Chains A and B, each alone.
Chain A
Amino acid sequence: MIFVTTGTQDPFDRFIQAIDLTLPYMNGVEVVGQVAKSDYQVKNFVVHEFLSPKDFEECFSRADLIVAHAGMGTIISALVKEKPILVMPRLAKFGEQRNDHQLATAMRFDKLGYINVAYDEVELMHMLKTIQAKPLTPMFSINDHASKELISSLSNFINL
């Protein structure tokens, strides 16, 4: 199953439409979507506007691949659960976000080799088609907590 998530804040039609248009070429793979208020009408998969933390968790665990906006919450969850993840950053020039921090994050994590990134919808469609033959694998995994340095630095400052 592929779990598609855009976060709950703003629409991301460019991303959703690319997935919807590619699905007929993906041999009937199951897709579940958590999609914030979209203008585009999804035809080829089930979408929920908001999932409770529990349902979100369930979809996440059941998924073989996460396809998402480049939101930090989703990226961290994928790294913790060792799920392969493909992200497409929201861009300010299309009104998908107020600034380009998702692009900056995606580029950094792409360079570190933590995540798969499609920088636009054409690249996303291409990557979705090719994962049929060559599935993505988790690239990096992380622990349940922040780094020891950050924890002890915070702890020291709290106790100061």
Chain B
Amino acid sequence: MKILAIASTGGHWIQLLRLRPAFDEHEIVFASTKKNFNTTVKGYDFHAVPEANRWNKRKLFHAFFKIWSLIGDVKPDVIVTTGAAPGLMAIIIGRIRGVKTIWVDSIANAEQLSMSGKLATYFSDRVYTQWLHLANDKIVFDGNVIV
């Protein structure tokens, strides 16, 4: 199977990389918002996508189309993301294109699911939280990235 693993920089990216054993038996394509992050996943196919957030609609639009065409090129069977906005866009596009989608909410969201995570619950086949007290019938808790 082909997995597209996508996340923004910083904590999102670091948490995504910590999930790698779950993808290792498959073909993995990574994507993030900084070109030089390819050095952190040497030997893997890596693509840079534009940064976007919900406060800049023009950038958001631009990023959406870039991620749309990335997904069109890669043709993944599964999309996994740890956020934030670019990950949510990949989830929505995946949903439209019939790709299996997984959202893992950042461990930084200890009080409530992130805004993007809440939106992802409408589109994603599976949504994980990393805090037991945030789990419910739609949001799964099965451990976290820090053990």
Question: Could you list which residues of chain A lie within 8 angstroms of chain B, going by C-beta atoms?
Answer: 7-9, 52-54, 71-77, 79, 101-102, 104-105, 108, 114, 142-155, 157-160
Q: Which of B1-40 contact A (CB under 8 A)?
A: 1, 3, 9-15, 18-23, 25-26, 36-37, 39-40
Docked Cα-Cα span, A102 to B130, in Å, equals: 15
Contact A158 B26 (CB under 8 A): yes
Contact B144 A101 (CB under 8 A): no
Docked Cα-Cα span, A115 to B14, in Å, equals: 18
Docked Cα-Cα span, A111 to B36, in Å, equals: 35
Chain B residues closer than 8 Å to A146, beta-carbon distance = 15, 18-19, 21-22, 143-147
Docked Cα-Cα span, A59 to B1, in Å, equals: 38
Q: Mark B65-105, 1 if CB is under 8 A from A, else 0.
A: 00000000000001010000000000000000000101010
Contact B10 A9 (CB under 8 A): yes
Picked from B13, B102, B111, B147, the residue with its CB within 8 Å of the CB of A157 is: B102
Picked from B9, B10, B125, B144, the residue with its CB within 8 Å of the CB of A150 is: B144
Chain A residues closer than 8 Å to B21, beta-carbon distance = 145-146, 151, 155
Docked Cα-Cα span, A98 to B53, in Å, equals: 12
Contact A150 B143 (CB under 8 A): yes
Chain B residues closer than 8 Å to A148, beta-carbon distance = 143, 147
Contact A72 B19 (CB under 8 A): no
Docked Cα-Cα span, A89 to B78, in Å, equals: 35
Contact B13 A73 (CB under 8 A): yes
- Count residues of chain B with CB under 8 A from any CB of chain A: 44
Could you list 6 examples of A-B contacts with CB < 8 Å? A53-B36, A53-B39, A101-B114, A146-B15, A147-B142, A147-B143
Contact B147 A101 (CB under 8 A): no
Most chain B CB atoms below 10 A, which of A148, A154, A159: A154
Chain A residues closer than 8 Å to B1, beta-carbon distance = 158-159
Other than the given A142-B147, A150-B143, A153-B128, 18 more pairs (CB < 8 A) read A8-B9, A53-B36, A71-B11, A72-B15, A73-B9, A76-B15, A102-B108, A104-B109, A108-B110, A114-B146, A143-B147, A146-B143, A146-B147, A147-B142, A148-B143, A155-B21, A155-B22, A155-B25
Assuming the A-B contacts A76-B146, A105-B108, A158-B78, are A150 and B11 also in contact, with contact meaning beta carbons closer than 8 angstroms in the complex? no
Chain A residues closer than 8 Å to B109, beta-carbon distance = 101, 104
Docked Cα-Cα span, A101 to B10, in Å, equals: 15
Chain B residues closer than 8 Å to A147, beta-carbon distance = 142-147
Chain A residues closer than 8 Å to B144, beta-carbon distance = 146-147, 150
Chain A residues closer than 8 Å to B47, beta-carbon distance = none
Docked Cα-Cα span, A142 to B146, in Å, equals: 6
Contact A72 B10 (CB under 8 A): yes
Most chain A CB atoms below 10 A, which of B22, B80, B128: B22
